[in-house]
Structure 1
């Protein structure tokens, strides 16, 4: 069996990292610049506006985030420009990247940042694997990371805070192995600051150190810090900014355990602990989806994490939280939550191979190659977050596909309309347009029209943009898109009839409205012709 030298191992990892970074940039950026819709496309606009406001001294403020607050969704209030997102998710670690954002000042820069963070984590993973293993095995582990669906898909998603997690935790593991304690505790602190709930991931890691007796005092301290931080932030700090954590997120995710329409994290934990039967039912149903999800996580590592007690301990609490959530999309390898399992699974695999080095035989290596290849093929064919829709149809039967030329022409039309919106104007737009308009103080997501400005006045937004082109394309195959298209059509009719907005532009299925303006004949005529094609599903 040929050996892999240290220099060759680094070279292979560097090439893999470069391919990963370039490919992810190409597909993520072409989707962004083509305005191609994807799940939680709205989040890109939220994070960009958070960074934009923070850069201007208004820490974590976002009118876009306000549109998802309990005050707007339930109480019927207007979104506010001075709403601080820290009431929804406590993410102070984002402050590290404000200097970077000050250089790029664009949502597309956040996508590049996300891809770079996850790419860099692979280098740290290789160094961590090399602490235990020869170059050849370390290369296999690192290639598994770069080919994992649970890594690629969230990387190709819109920007999210959990993209920092693999880098911080792999660095923490490496620092612990090297006994660089100051770096270890810095990474633990940064992990806690990523989000209010990342302490759950740390708790599982701390529990592993306790049960393995490798560093039980360190593990105990990590567990105490994690629990204390979660309780303090979710029950004391976040309520200072808004009531979203108790009135929205706890109820949305764990409402089946509680009877009230409002609950703190402590109350939810007590409700879960006092209903062990319901807890077990949630953990084991739906069993098929849970098994498929775990198989997808294990596949690129040749299923070794399934054999690793260390991996099971480290992912036990994040997995329990995921299985308990009232969210049909929670068990999806394409969402950002899949990244929370990556550090524990890969560190657990490294530790398993350290105890079974003789198992790394040619047959196992061949099997592992097949697993890595299969993981990559399944990832590509699943079209993660529609990033590959430029080459892969969204549906084969019926056929739903927009060619690169069609996507580009549509994007050019959108840009021509966007250039007509002044930088200081307030705006409302559909989800996958709003990110491009989020470098401003006053922005909300369609169908919201009101906004509570800095002067205390609630006003209607100045401009509205609605993209009917993609819903019209997708409605051939997807019922939810057909309903979205119908809803958009009805709402637009209501707005035009009210006279508060006039249609002053229409290009490539995109409606452009201005407050207080009279509708122009040519855009209205083009809109009516386009509207007449909605029933065409051929």
Structure 2
């Protein structure tokens, strides 16, 4: 009797496997509304993420400047260029190329696209305009990422890729390292890839051509797009046209346009930075053919391998399995990895800006090629990998390398900076480090580290440039005094001197 009761009781319970299935089904039902909510509102959520990024990093970039951690090269340089531009002297500088006479920035870099910022700078003529403008430009880079992911992947994935974009290693470094014109290329390159995938030829070409106005190496990036169009899209006419336009534009800029604005001075950077592999376009090609081992030795260096690890690690290397689309990466990687100038192969510098939309975009295309059943797992890997890399190597507020001190004003500046008000707005100034970008809204300003005193009426020194050595700083002050300057104000490791 007891046995039959136990059997009835046992029979009344659902089997364990059934319980597990019911639990899983219940969990799935509870997750399904959340997923539906995220999918239905992914555009709004992506916009809110972008807004949070913009407010956070726009604020941090301004705080970094206002706490005297920005520098003359390059924030002070671009601030002076924009200030001169809105005062009727387009692109004039006394800092670019460390050339301490009025000259055109266009003789150093072809960056006509800076005019996009001129109306905003006219309304608020201060470095903060450039910093906020750069933050807006980098935030807008998430837009084509969202559109491309929504085009190629199932609903919900676009939001994942927006997160991956904002976590991408170089992005915050670019955002928080002064201002650089190449940051303006991130969104147009992203849109170029999106329009190419939607086969909208004219918007694609407009986006690519706009990047030609940002910096002289951008036409080389277009060559990668042309190769993808040629081999991946099988559009021989468009692809060959883009390749030809990119190559012709690049060589015209470095051999004719920039030397014209430089009043005959040749474009210096290929000889300076690519001497080990040929020192000229023809020399590099010759080295490729006659001495490929030298090319391989130049590329496979420890720091360059670390650079590649930081660039492709966050997306688990997916970009390289995107088929012909991977061709868009090659020209940019080529001119970065062949260089001997270390900032060019560092994911903490502005030089990696063109890779941001290209690496993210090709990784999206690679995920779209994967079997649908594997895509959620791969997307999860992307987010986890991006979080891990941003913590270990990035510059997010939670990153292990993040230095909150970069956004706080050292007490030594608080007492000293008000004394700089004695400098007349039209006075010629030579200044050091974080002070240069606070004195750059004038026709004549020099960065003391690279240009010395020149004909400055005022000299502002900071012992940060002397590796925080008061002994070296005192010798520096004495050297300036020996040139006929007298001290007007002093602070801890700070000095203001005037021509006597």
**Contact kept? 2:392, 2:399, Cα under 8 Å:** no
- Corresponding position: 1:167 with 2:187: yes
Shift of 1:63: 0.7
Using structure 2 for the length normalisation, give the TM-score.
Answer: 0.85
| Residue matched to 1:422 | 424
- Corresponding position: 1:9 with 2:42: yes
**Contact kept? 1:27, 1:387, Cα under 8 Å:** no
Match of 1:213 among 222, 233, 240: 233
Q: Distance in 1 between matches of 2:274 and 2:399?
A: 26
Q: Which deviations, in whole Å up to 9, do the C-alpha atoms of 1:460-501 show, x marking residues without a partner?
A: 211010112x457x65xxxxxx6xx76544332122234x10
| Residue matched to 1:93 | 113
- Corresponding position: 1:280 with 2:265: no
Shift of 1:140: 1.4
Match of 1:436 among 422, 427, 438: 438
Question: What secondary structure sits across from 1:203 in the alignment?
Answer: helix
Using structure 1 for the length normalisation, give the TM-score.
Answer: 0.80
Shift of 1:143: 0.9
Change (3 A) 1:275 1:28: farther
**Contact kept? 2:72, 2:432, Cα under 8 Å:** no
Larger-gyration structure (1/2): 2
Match of 1:325 among 325, 339, 352: 339
Match of 2:95 among 64, 79, 89: 64
**Contact kept? 1:301, 1:349, Cα under 8 Å:** yes
Question: What secondary structure sits across from 1:512 in the alignment?
Answer: strand
Change (3 A) 1:182 1:277: closer
Instruction: Give matches, 1:31-180, under 5 Å.
Output: 31-36=64-69, 41-65=72-96, 68-69=98-99, 79-81=100-102, 83-180=103-200
Question: What secondary structure sits across from 2:354 in the alignment?
Answer: helix
| Residue matched to 2:20 | none
**Contact kept? 1:428, 1:445, Cα under 8 Å:** yes
| Residue matched to 2:318 | 304
Q: Which deviations, in whole Å up to 9, do the C-alpha atoms of 1:322-366 show, x marking residues without a partner?
A: 111111332211101111212221221122122214154554344
Q: Distance in 2 between matches of 1:28 and 1:128?
A: 28
| Residue matched to 1:185 | 205
Change (3 A) 1:131 1:421: same
Question: What secondary structure sits across from 2:460 in the alignment?
Answer: strand
Pairwise CA RMSD of aligned residues? Answer: 2.8
**Contact kept? 2:277, 2:298, Cα under 8 Å:** no
Match of 2:415 among 413, 416, 425: 413
Shift of 1:306: 3.5
Q: Distance in 2 between matches of 1:339 and 1:496?
A: 42
**Contact kept? 1:206, 1:219, Cα under 8 Å:** yes
| Residue matched to 1:370 | 384
Q: Distance in 2 between matches of 1:245 and 1:222?
A: 29
List runs of 5+ in structure 1 lacking aligned partners.
70-78, 393-402, 452-459, 476-481, 517-538
Match of 1:252 among 259, 269, 272: 272
Shift of 1:26: 2.6
Bigger shift: residues 213-222 or 347-356: 213-222
Q: Which deviations, in whole Å up to 9, do the C-alpha atoms of 1:395-446 show, x marking residues without a partner?
A: xxxxxxxx94xx2533323421221211010000003211111110011111
**Contact kept? 1:154, 1:334, Cα under 8 Å:** yes
Question: What secondary structure sits across from 2:213 in the alignment?
Answer: helix
Change (3 A) 1:269 1:443: same
Q: Which deviations, in whole Å up to 9, do the C-alpha atoms of 1:504-524 show, x marking residues without a partner?
A: 1002321000001xxxxxxxx
Q: Distance in 2 between matches of 1:117 and 1:173?
A: 17
Q: Which deviations, in whole Å up to 9, do the C-alpha atoms of 1:298-318 show, x marking residues without a partner?
A: 233233223333453211121
**Contact kept? 1:160, 1:336, Cα under 8 Å:** yes
List runs of 5+ in structure 2 lacking aligned partners.
1-27
